[in-house]
Amino acid sequence: MTTVVTYGTFDLFHIGHVRLLKRLHSLGDRLVVGLSSDEFNTVKGKNVVIPYEDRKEILLSCRYVDDVFQENCWEQKREDLEREGADIFAMGDDWIGKFDDLQDIVKVVYLPRTQDVSTTELKTVISEIQNEKIREVQSLTEHLNALIQRL
């Protein structure tokens, strides 16, 4: 049985995540995900929208994922890979070269990310929508204040 291990935050689960997990699963018989804790995401400078336990439940409901464990720090990867009996350690190609030091215990694979889809882009779009709504409310408030002053 070939075990594949990957890591990630998987916030705002989207089609890019599904496609990545599908490709990762196709590399072996068992896919295990190291899911970054909320605290570790803070250390990494990431603000998650969906809390850890919910992200874990979402991943476990995905047919490509066999198991999930918590990632709490950068340094735990070697121990995790050994504990899980990993044959392949795979990440998105935005991490190329970062984990080559693990090649002494596993095959390290970097897969291309899904084009034009990312959690960061989703958060940017949501923020732009939120900012537009704020501008609309401010404009409406200014208009109402002007009307009230004329009365």
Q: Looking at the annotation, which residues are catalytic? A: 44, 46
Give the other-Cβ count within 10 Å of 126's Cβ.
12
Contact 89, 7 (CB under 8 A): no
Contact 124, 132 (CB under 8 A): no
- What φ, ψ does residue 70 adopt, rounded to 5°? -85, 130
User: Is residue 32 within a helix (H) or strand (E), and if so which, with residue range?
Assistant: strand 30-36
Residue 91 CA to residue 108 CA, distance in Å, equals: 8
